[in-house]
Amino acid sequence: MSKILVVIGSARPGRVADTILNYVQEDLTTRDNVEVTVADLKEINLPFFDNENSPASPDYVITDPQVKTWSELVASNDSVVFITPEYNHSLSAIQKNAIDSLAADWEAKPIAAVAYGWSGGSLVLENLREVLSVVKTELKSSAAQLAFMKDIGVDGSLIDETNVRNQIKAMIDEIIA
């Protein structure tokens, strides 16, 4: 059984991430021996990181209950799929904060992403790769990159359904391999 945590990295009202989540879940429901948990960072509502010790420090102790819940979610799953918007060519603040709040839970964990935006999320993927390398894991190579007005509409609706579904399938194939 492969346990996959799908993380929604946007908190905006009317966010495209919910529609992208549907496409990811449609693919995952066709898979055998896969258990999916969705973590909505908007609902988890992590505090901005304010621990006196870095999560990489041996003295780091999680004291906030929301961070503890987040840590347990990440630790209890085999891999993580980030659904990530590209905000100003980078990660959303809540997604960066969620990554920064943990260290050991990320180490060597397979990570995949579905990025979306005007550049197909290419710039946020560069940023995500860099951030993940610091917490000793890496983004799988077959991340899905969905460009507004090419692959998806600005509301997340499908424009190039075949391309979107193929990219998501390839990303999931790699993460559960």
Contact 146, 164 (CB under 8 A): yes
According to the model, what pLDDT value does residue 177 have?
83
According to the model, what pLDDT value does residue 159 have?
98
- Could you name the CATH architecture of 2-176? 3-Layer(aba) Sandwich (3.40)
Q: What's the pLDDT tens digit per position in 87-119?
A: 999 999 999 999 999 999 999 999 999 999 999
Contact 72, 66 (CB under 8 A): no
Pairing of strands 79-85, 144-147: unpaired
Give one word for 107, left, alpha or beta, with left for phi > 0 and alpha for psi -120 to 50. Answer: beta
- Residue 64 pLDDT exceeds 90: yes
- Residue 135 pLDDT exceeds 90: yes
Domain boundaries, the chain: 2-176
Contact 140, 111 (CB under 8 A): yes
For residues 129-138, average pLDDT: 94
- Residue 134 pLDDT exceeds 90: yes
Contact 152, 11 (CB under 8 A): no
